Structure 1
């Protein structure tokens, strides 16, 4: 079965197969057939490759090219989480092996179970593009999966020492502030405005949960024949323990509505502006019902999610400016940064009214 997401490995993202293949054969179960290497073309940060040993398939994940921001693209963390989480949260693919030997690829990487399904990105698959009832089910599923993750007891999978939940919100604001100043190539007044407001209006965490920390529709894999049935949650390299509303606020970034500024649809696109999808308010209400958490301060978490995305997009753009990636998709990301910053200020103004 062909996979439209799988491409030939990009010229500037090749792996040293002569070093890699022997390591894989020594560390993976059933890695006995002829070896082939291809690349997953989606995504914008970590590099993801399809490993094939005859009929047996795995997924290799490694950080992007160039310098890595502190605590970002943490393959050791992702391996630690995925080696155990699937025991209680079946949507987490299993990680089979971690390599920390720089002699192999020059960076940490790990190898994960391959799951098959569809990843919904900017648009719904054409055959499902006009089905409001399905869209509503998809929207509810996205919220319910997040709520289910936040119900997992980290102790049950040996993750009770992951992260530092005490002072989590303050450290998140300070950390993403530092990342912004390390990556920025221009002064943007709207970003400064967001930061001032976030620091002045900071809420108090009411709970601690296992966070995905990059949860959105295109980090979900769904059943190809029923898009409302989840198959896997992907991209766990920023997982930690902390305030669960951080995940919800970040998700709201991508939950577009019909009346939103069109620039927001372009910057953080999920096809949730199609008929049938729940509104952001309905998303928040459903999450609150599923978890029992108070969501009165959700506007702060939403704005923080916007700021976090501003920094992530800027980090990608600065890698492009410095020639650390040749991927032309990133050439216009400076404009996306400015549009996102404006979105954050609009949300702040709406909260003040």
Structure 2
């Protein structure tokens, strides 16, 4: 517990935060802070201010890859989506004054519900085939809602440059990969080979949409009852305008079905093997029915997803080596990321088709 408390202290000066919150939320005699230790990227700090329950979102401490962990970008898209059919938490305010807690941050209302984490498994109330089917359909239909957003109407017309989205993504993540290798002091040939293959294999673009960039089961929250209903989508810091099929590929890459001994088991749900959960191919059919789009070039989009994930994990591993994180998963990345890179190569070679 002391490590968690020490980490919380490194993320926020509670006295300075309390003083700032009083200017935004009014005075209170009740202020409690706790660290949410189940995420692996941007940090989340829960706090009560009077009768209100809130979540504060900030970048991790220490050195981070350039352009990563943009919480103010996340605040912008969450605020814009509040008037759409996409379920998101209500934003409260954002702050770019680093004198408060040492970084940009924003505050949103805390949602009361359940995140289905890969390492803890499905909640017992959802352990029925019909509910598992609904979890999956909620996940896919919510993604279709994201891709159906009229981004011009809600003020996100300049949120990204969808032209050459895929090539820009590959260049961005390749640059981040090289930065991470310098920090971690190692190189992973299979990950670099993936970057080269992706750059040579970009498909023709389709009509751009708002894309989430990190869409997977543990980035949504379900209501506290049954049947399963998504009440919020989180982790929008990588969102932009671009190719919606990149989101589909990312969802598929993070949906284990028929894979034994996955690399970095904490990140890939094994319970999706249970009766009622669809296969990857069935997820594709569900998305095509919900969106009216055809999913194609599967090897490319799943390889791109794996490349993004592998590079992000290498940044996490570098943070572990630098001593700026207490995340218990990070030591396993020494072997886990090379294993993940080898899996991506199997996808590229056609040896791991959709399940």
- Name the TM tier (shorter chain): over 0.9
Residue 63 of structure 2 is matched in structure 1 by: 67
| Contact 1:71 1:238 (8 Å CA) reproduced | no
Which residue of structure 1 lines up, in the alignment, with residue 35 of structure 2? 39
Match of 1:155 in 2: 152
Deviates more, 1:231-240 or 1:172-181: 231-240
| 2:180–2:318 Cα contact (<8 Å) kept | yes
From 50, 54, 60, give the equivalent of 2:50.
54
Instruction: Map Cα deviations across residues 186-241 of structure 1 (whole Å, 9 max, x no partner).
Output: 22222132122211211122011111111111111002222621111111122111
1:138 corresponds to = 135
- For 1:25, the equivalent position in structure 2 comes to 22
Q: Which position in structure 2 is the counterpart of 1:338?
A: 338
Aligned to 1:3: none
Aligned partners of 1:291 and 1:137: how far apart in 2? 17
CA separation in 2, counterparts of 1:110 and 1:283? 33
Partner of 1:4: none
8 Å CA contact 2:306, 2:344 repeated in 1: yes
Give the superposition deviation at 1:125. Answer: 3.8
TM, length-normalised to structure 1: 0.92
The aligned residue for residue 12 of structure 1 is: 7
Partner in structure 2 of residue 112 of structure 1: 108
Gaps of 5+ in 1: 1-6
Partner of 1:268: 267
SS of the residue corresponding to residue 81 of structure 1 reads helix
RMSD of aligned Cα (Å): 2.1
- Larger mean CA deviation between 147-156 and 222-231 belongs to 222-231
List gaps (5 residues or longer) in structure 2.
none
Distance 2:227 2:177 in 1: 36
Q: Equivalent of 2:74, from 62, 65, 78?
A: 78
Map of 1:171-320 to 2, 5 A cutoff? 171-184=168-181, 185-226=185-226, 228-257=228-257, 259-264=258-263, 266=265, 268-270=267-269, 271-320=271-320
Structure-2-length-normalised TM-score: 0.92
Tell me, what secondary structure is at the counterpart of 2:153?
helix
DSSP 3-state at the match of 2:47: strand
Shift of 1:126: 4.9
Could you tell me how far apart the structure 2 residues matched to 1:248 and 1:147 are?
Answer: 10
Determine the C-alpha separation between the residues in 2 that align with 1:351 and 1:327: 33
